[in-house]
Structure 1
Amino acid sequence: MKYAVASRGDTISDDLITQITASLNEFGLSQDQESPEVVISVGGDGTLLQAFHDYSHRLEETAFVGVHTGHLGFYADWIPSEVDNLIIHIAKTPYQVVEYPLLEVVVRYGDETKPKRYLALNESTIKNSEGSSLVCNVEIKGEVFETFRGDGLCISTPSGSTAYNKALGGAILHPSLASLQISEMASINNRVYRTVGSPLVLPQHHTCLLKLLDNTDVQVTIDHYTINHEEIASIQCRVAEEKIRFARFRPFPFWKRVKESFIGE
């Protein structure tokens, strides 16, 4: 089996990468950073997010497994003291594949720039980069649902619902639900401007289209990447056909992760 490694870059993570690489090579596995079957991420959720984007072009052939060297991460099943067991599992044990939904984001421009398609594991956000209010029509299934005015909008995946979406008051969704969630950032609600004021959960067959109604420069993020372009006209979001695949060697229920992260033991 071919594997690749990704490190957060700190001393602890790099040392674990050295240990993992040496041991897996001894077991006869081959390191292949270009076309791996398994990507081993050592660090935090940010490290795995970066690994996902690095290998987003081969999601059907690649599974991910995470070792967290900081606080408990939602995408990391293992801790440093368990690395020896993980190495044996990777080398000797067939793994179960667990799939999580992804978000497809298509950015269209007002000039002649070709539309660009992105995949997000956590979320995409849209804000006015000039510090003023974002103004856009929110269309669902081709019908105008509302005209949003406020700081911005966050469109998250179920697995990303525990991240920025939660900070905005959004619901936590189980990753088995193929859906997306739209959460508001400080919407303006008065006698003139109204929004629904609540997070919206859209199923897999619904598409959300955000059409900008002013000519101001907006900032769009895809996970930890930022897109700045003065001529962004619309952002289309829906559940992607692709999914991320995790290599699961033992049960680690989602709600257990939520409890340990936000409530404690």
Structure 2
Amino acid sequence: MRVAVYSNHTKESNKVTNQINQGLKENNIEIDDRAPDIVLTIGGDGTLLSAFHHYREQLEHVRFVGIHTGHLGFYTDWRDYEVDKLIDSLKQDNGQRVSYPLVDVDIKYTDGTKEHFVALNESTIKKIENTMVCDIYIKGQLFERFRGDGLCISTPTGSTGYNKSIGGAVIDPSLLGIQLGEIASINNRVFRTLGSPIIVGQDQYLDLKLRTVDQLIVSCDQYQAHGLNEKRLIDSIHYQISARQIYFARYRHTNFWERVDEAFIGGAK
């Protein structure tokens, strides 16, 4: 087994990193940051998202394990004081894994060029100044014309992030699909959108056809995919559930709704 250690390099994370590196060496577990079988992330959900994008070309061969050294995260199963237990679990690893869905993001530019990205949590498209106008197609059929600040397209596991902050629904990760949420939409007697989050199934897809020529910011998991400093203008963006997945080495599993309860309600029983 080859293990990579990916840290956010805070004081507490560096302490845990040193403990893990020592434990791996003492148990003859190979440390390999280039072609690992397992990636240990030390920090929080942001650190795991960063590691996901760092190893995105190796997703079929890599499993992730999250250790949080701060606030409770949705992707982190281990605490900073459980290093010895984690090392023991690595020694007994038998390939067990669970998977989470990803969303494909395909940007088409007005000059005919294209770019492909993938997101674990969400992708957003925003206009900094004035109003963004785009037609929303669901599986090739025009649904509505959106006017507002932007849109957020999220996965089920990403539904507790940015999506929730704009009024989106929290979706059980066993339900495969993508959710589209509006960011400050314009709704009056002249312009009208549904005004509610839209959830489409695994066999469906979304196309956003831009009606404004101004430059936009497109992000994938808060990492910029297209920015205002780029000269190319976006023609359309295609979103659908990816054929690829992210895998976690779940030596123990925390129920999704327990995570939601702990993070947002505080253990109400």
Q: TM-score range by the shorter chain?
A: over 0.9
* Letter paired with 2:180: I
Cα RMSD for the two superposed structures: 1.0
Aligned residue identity for 1:48: L
On the 8 A contact 1:24/1:91 being kept in 2, the answer is no
1: CA distance, partners of 2:172 / 2:25:
36
**Contact 1:95/1:248 (<8 A) preserved:** no
Greater shift, 21-30 or 240-249, is seen at 21-30
1:255 partner SS: helix
SS in 1 for 2:18: helix
TM-score (norm 2): 0.95
Q: Which residue of 2 aligns with 1:182?
A: 180
> 1-side partners of 2:253 and 2:213: how far apart?
49
Structure 1 residue 96: Cα displacement: 2.5
Residue equivalent to 1:80: 80
Gaps of 5+ in 2: none
Correspondence for 1:142: 140
| CA apart distance, 1:223 | 0.7
Equivalent residues in 2 for 1:161-200 (5 A)?
A: 161-200=159-198
Give the structure-1-normalised TM-score. Answer: 0.97
Unaligned runs of 5+ in 1: none
Partner in structure 1 of residue 118 of structure 2:
119
Residue-pair matches, total:
263
What amino acid maps onto 2:260 in structure 1? V
Match of 2:36 in 1: 36
Alignment check: 8 A CA contact 1:48 1:66 kept: yes
Judge conservation of contact 1:128–1:151 (CA < 8 Å) in 2.
Answer: yes
Counterpart of 2:262 (choices 255, 260, 263) is 260
Partner of 2:55: 55
Deviation at 1:95, TM superposition (A): 5.0
Q: Distance in 2 between matches of 1:49 and 1:181?
A: 19
CA shift, 1:29, in A, is 1.1
C-alpha deviation, 1:156, in angstroms: 0.3
| Equivalence for 1:217 | 215
TM superposition shift of 1:60: 1.1
Identity among equivalent pairs (%): 48
Partners of 1:97 and 1:251 in 2: how far apart?
Answer: 10
Equivalence for 1:105: 105
Which structure 1 residue ranges, 4+ long, deviate > 4 Å from structure 2? none
